[in-house]
Amino acid sequence: MPKVVDHEQRRRELGRALWQVIRQHGIDGASVRSVAREAGWSPSSVQYYFTTQAELVSFAMRMISEVLRRAPTRRTLPPDPRDAAQETLERMLPMDAEMRAVAEVWVAFLSRTLVDDEARRINRGGHEHLSRTCRRLLDDLAAHDLLADGLDLRLEVDRLHMLMDGMVLHAVTAPDLMPPERLRATLHRHLTSLLVKD
163, pLDDT greater than 80:
yes
11, pLDDT greater than 60:
yes
Q: What is the pLDDT of residue 50?
A: 86
| Overall average pLDDT of the 51-56 stretch | 85
* Verdict on whether the full-model pTM lies above 0.85: yes
Contacts 24+ apart (CB under 8 A), 18-27: 18/56, 18/57, 18/60, 19/60, 19/63, 19/101, 19/102, 19/105, 22/60, 22/104, 22/105, 22/108, 22/109, 23/101, 23/104, 23/105, 23/108, 26/108, 27/57, 27/108, 27/109, 27/111, 27/112
pLDDT range class, residue 56, cuts 50, 70, 90: confident
74, pLDDT greater than 70:
yes
Q: What is the pLDDT of residue 82?
A: 97
86, pLDDT greater than 90:
yes
Q: What is the pLDDT of residue 59?
A: 87
Higher pLDDT, 15 or 184: 184
| CA–CA separation, 68 and 71 (whole Å) | 5
Three-state DSSP class for 183?
helix
| Overall average pLDDT of the 41-52 stretch | 89
Tell me, what amino acid is at 43?
P
pLDDT range class, residue 134, cuts 50, 70, 90: very high
Mean pLDDT value across the chain: 91
20, pLDDT greater than 80:
yes
Q: What is the pLDDT of residue 57?
A: 85
Q: What is the pLDDT of residue 81?
A: 97
pLDDT range class, residue 125, cuts 50, 70, 90: very high
Angle at 111 between CA 106 and CA 112, to 5 degrees: 90
